[in-house]
């Protein structure tokens, strides 16, 4: 097994393919993550502020997330008219999942902002949009981060499924590994996927910590 | 000046928070809205900065209807202090205080410089400015809340139960601090509380509100205690209002008598006849406690041989303190001290009552009720 691994990795063309698929995987997982966060924030805010919309939005989000990913990958091209192997399918499908996954945590995170803080902000003369950006959003970051971390891991694993419908990414290694069969590609794919997930998670944690210095200050000795 | 003109607030579900209510808050004074929960006091307060709009009637600020100003702009010109301070946890203390100047478009540097000055003004060291709110005590957070409300130098300050979440000792310090600040700044302060003692202490005028949003009485505190308008006000101001009213009676007519004293560290030879109570002082002449009649001292007099004393009356303070000092003292003699806590003399409860009986004191100090 080790010999096969060394043989596989020592081939420059194999390494090139690996790198390309890793790059595609990153692209297919992270673009939907960013798009999903950008969509979930305004939707979550809407659900938080408009009571009657809340049930509809959260309900829809729940349903969307339960649709099997493979079905979406297969059906989406027919609906939006893209080619079957187009990466756009994966990006759109995963954006939907990310958004659906994040809407509820966004609502919860915004509601975790203490009322006396938002009331004080209003009383000092913040208009609603600026208050959202300057007060509510920064305070929602800690609660949001954990949801975004889950979404990033979920995306990275779902991209592999996309390989079944012919998209790129590390999932190709599993497909090719089975078809040939060249089983060594499968553990290589698994290890790279897990490493990628861990790396992205680490970056999210680093980003979260740099955005919330006040959280750790709160835990420091009071009155020191 | 803030003027409520027949304001009424009815919510969609039919509950009435404020009945047709008219009230004038004089400029440059502290006016307190006090009442049980559900009396509409916070609703009234929030009508001033348009966080709540009245269903009918109008609120006038220096003669102009508040509805003529755009809400956010109006609010930047009105200081607001909320319960639990409402500080932004993600901003440093300095940046919290700089909030309104920043909203007004001032540069960060100028706003921060101003913030540091304000922190000192409310009795906080300026180095606290670099900390986050969670690193401060409750009392410090409230001070920052006051500094933040004052940052743009607004003529009007709205305070919504600002001190109710801190412990009683800290609360008293914050109240004294507010009175001191008000002495310097002369803002028009509208202060909401459910605590009648706080209302009586802080307010030049006190509006007592009843459940359902009715104004029960609007008067200076001494009048509220002396002549409550109805049974509700009577029960709300409490049973001991006669005693509390002494807070407004001057004690300058009180003549302190003397009592035998000894010092900590004295030996039995120094202790006088022992026929009565003996007051024990420390080396700076501050009272430490009492020796009962016929007490025997072994060797040097130490703190653990004393009976703890009662409250102390600072000479010149209102009569309430003098009576309390006498009532709480184990000897029945209230100890009078000067502002540094140095022993001046003793008074008895009888002396206090005699002053009240004789009516020589000016009935109540002049109120600001207009």
Decide the pairing of beta strands B30-34 and B56-61.
unpaired
Percent of chain B topping pLDDT 70 = 96
* Residue A20, beta-bridge partner list: none
Q: Rg (Cα) of chain A, in Å, rounded?
A: 21
Chain A residues with CB under 8 Å of B74 CB are: 125
Q: What is the pLDDT of residue B2?
A: 96
- Measured in degrees and rounded to the nearest 5, phi and psi for residue A19 equal -65, -40
Predicted complex ipTM: 0.81
Residue-wise pLDDT for A46-87, tens only, equals: 999 898 999 999 999 999 888 888 888 888 888 888 887 788
User: CA A175, CA A195: separation in Å to the nearest integer?
Assistant: 19
User: CA B117, CA A184: separation in Å to the nearest integer?
Assistant: 69
C-alpha closest to that of B76 among B115, B111, B40, B102: B102
Domains and CATH numbers, chain B: 2-247 (3.40.50.300), 261-358 (3.10.580.10)
Q: What is the pLDDT of residue A47?
A: 94
C-alpha closest to that of A121 among A111, A110, A112, A132: A132
The tokens for B319 are: 């009569």
Contacts of residue B245, defined as CB under 8 A and 6 or more positions apart, other chains included, come to B222, B225, B226, B364
> Mind telling me how many Å the CA of B254 is from chain A's nearest CA?
43
Torsion of CA B97, B98, B100, B101, to 10 degrees: 140
Residue-wise pLDDT for B336-370, tens only, equals: 999 899 999 999 999 998 888 876 545 444 444 43
Pick the residue of A109, A114, A124 with the most B CBs within 10 A to test the interface with B by mutation: A124
CA distances from B177 to B30, B97, B140, B163 (A): 13, 18, 12, 12
Contact A217 B84 (CB under 8 A): no
Nearest CA in chain A to B84: A116
CA distances from A145 to A32, A88, B28, B105, B237 (A): 16, 26, 48, 32, 51
Contact A222 B85 (CB under 8 A): no
Choose between A223 and B90: higher pLDDT: B90
| The model scores a pTM over 0.80 | no
Instruction: Check: CB of residue B136 under 8 Å from CB of residue B122.
Output: no
Looking at residues B175-181, what average pLDDT do you find?
A: 94
pLDDT at B20 over 80: yes
- b/e per residue, B86-106, with b = 16+ CB within 10 A? bbbbbbbbbbbbbbbbbbeeb
Write down the mean pLDDT value for chain B.
90
Give the other-Cβ count within 10 Å of A129's Cβ: 9
Chain A interface includes B84 (CB < 8 A)? yes
Chain A interface includes B12 (CB < 8 A)? no
Residue-wise pLDDT for A173-221, tens only, equals: 888 888 888 888 888 888 999 999 999 999 999 999 999 888 887 665 4
Least confident of A58-67, B178-187, B266-275: B266-275
Three-class SS state of A153: helix
Least confident of A115-129, B150-164, B256-270: B256-270
Q: What is the pLDDT of residue B175?
A: 95
Contacts of residue A15, defined as CB under 8 A and 6 or more positions apart, other chains included, come to A9
User: CA B110, CA B98: separation in Å to the nearest integer?
Assistant: 9
Residue-wise pLDDT for B198-250, tens only, equals: 999 999 999 999 999 999 999 999 999 989 999 999 999 887 888 888 888 88
User: CA A56, CA A52: separation in Å to the nearest integer?
Assistant: 7
Of B90, B103, B137, the CB nearest to A214: B90
User: Domain spanning A2-212: which superfamily?
Assistant: MetI-like (1.10.3720.10)
CA distances from A47 to A41, A44, A93, A143, B167 (A): 10, 5, 22, 17, 38
- b/e per residue, B162-173, with b = 16+ CB within 10 A? bbebbeeebbeb
Q: What is the pLDDT of residue B67?
A: 95
Looking at residues B277-289, what average pLDDT do you find?
A: 91
Q: What is the pLDDT of residue A112?
A: 92
Most confident of A88-92, B84-88, B213-217: B213-217
Chain A residues with CB under 8 Å of B102 CB are: none
Instruction: Check: CB of residue B176 under 8 Å from CB of residue B146.
Output: no
Instruction: Check: CB of residue B166 under 8 Å from CB of residue B159.
Output: no
Side-chain half-sphere CA neighbours of A137 within 13 A: 15
Q: Give the angle B295-B327-B237 at the CA atoms, nearest 5°.
A: 160
pLDDT at A163 over 90: no
C-alpha closest to that of B95 among B83, B84, B110: B110
């Amino acid at each position: 097994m080790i010999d096969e691994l060394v043989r596989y990795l020592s081939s420059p063309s194999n390494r090139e393919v690996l790198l390309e698929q890793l790059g595609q995987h990153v692209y297919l997982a992270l673009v939907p993550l960013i798009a999903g966060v950008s969509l979930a924030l305004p939707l979550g805010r809407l659900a938080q502020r408009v009571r009657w919309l809340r049930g509809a939005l959260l309900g829809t989000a729940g349903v969307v997330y339960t649709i099997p990913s493979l079905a979406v990958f297969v059906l989406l091209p027919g609906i939006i008219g893209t080619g079957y192997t187009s990466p756009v399918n994966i990006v759109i499908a995963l954006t939907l999942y990310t958004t659906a996954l994040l809407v509820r945590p966004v609502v919860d995170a915004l509601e975790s902002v203490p009322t006396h803080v938002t009331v004080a902000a209003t009383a000092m003369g913040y208009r609603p949009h600026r208050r959202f950006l300057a007060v509510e959003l920064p305070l929602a970051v800690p609660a949001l981060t954990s949801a975004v971390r889950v979404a990033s891991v979920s995306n990275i694993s779902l991209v592999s499924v996309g390989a079944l419908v012919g998209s790129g990414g590390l999932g190709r290694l599993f497909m090719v590994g089975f078809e040939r069969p060249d089983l060594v590609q499968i553990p290589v794919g698994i290890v790279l996927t897990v490493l990628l997930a861990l790396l992205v998670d680490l970056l999210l944690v680093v980003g979260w910590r740099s955005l919330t210095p006040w959280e750790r200050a709160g835990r420091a000795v009071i009155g020191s | 000046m803030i003027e409520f003109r027949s304001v009424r607030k009815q919510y969609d579900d039919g509950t009435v928070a404020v009945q047709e209510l008219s009230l004038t808050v004089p400029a440059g004074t502290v006016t307190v809205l006090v009442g049980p929960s559900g009396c509409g006091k916070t609703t009234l307060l929030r009508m001033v900065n348009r966080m709540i709009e009245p269903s009918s009637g109008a609120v006038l600020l220096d003669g102009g209807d508040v509805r003529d100003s755009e809400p956010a702009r109006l609010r930047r010109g009105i200081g607001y202090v909320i319960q639990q301070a409402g500080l932004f946890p993600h901003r440093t203390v300095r940046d919290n205080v700089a909030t309104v100047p920043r909203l007004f478009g001032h540069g960060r540097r100028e706003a921060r410089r101003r913030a540091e000055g304000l922190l000192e003004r409310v009795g906080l060291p300026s180095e606290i400015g670099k900390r986050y709110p969670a690193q401060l005590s409750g009392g410090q957070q409230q001070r920052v809340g006051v500094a933040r409300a004052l940052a743009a130098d607004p003529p009007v300050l709205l305070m919504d139960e600002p001190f109710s979440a801190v412990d009683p000792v800290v609360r008293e310090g914050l109240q004294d601090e507010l009175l001191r600040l008000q002495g310097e700044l002369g803002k028009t302060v509208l202060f909401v509380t459910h605590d009648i003692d706080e209302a009586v202490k802080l307010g030049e005028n006190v509006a007592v509100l009843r459940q359902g949003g009715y104004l029960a009485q609007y008067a200076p505190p001494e009048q509220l205690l002396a002549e409550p308008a109805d049974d509700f006000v009577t029960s709300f101001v409490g049973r001991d209002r006669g005693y509390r009213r002494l807070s407004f009676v001057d004690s300058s007519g009180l003549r302190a008598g003397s009592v035998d004293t000894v010092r900590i560290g004295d030996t039995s030879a120094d202790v006088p006849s022992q026929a009565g109570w003996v007051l024990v002082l420390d080396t700076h002449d501050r009272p430490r406690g009492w020796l009962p009649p016929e007490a025997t001292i072994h060797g040097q007099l130490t703190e653990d041989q004393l009976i703890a004393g009662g409250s102390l009356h600072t000479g010149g303070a209102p009569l309430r303190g003098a009576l309390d000092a006498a009532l709480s003292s184990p000897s029945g003699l209230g100890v009078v001290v000067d502002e540094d806590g140095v022993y001046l003399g003793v008074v008895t409860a009888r002396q206090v009552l005699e002053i009240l009986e004789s009516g020589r004191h000016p009935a109540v100090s002049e109120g600001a009720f207009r």
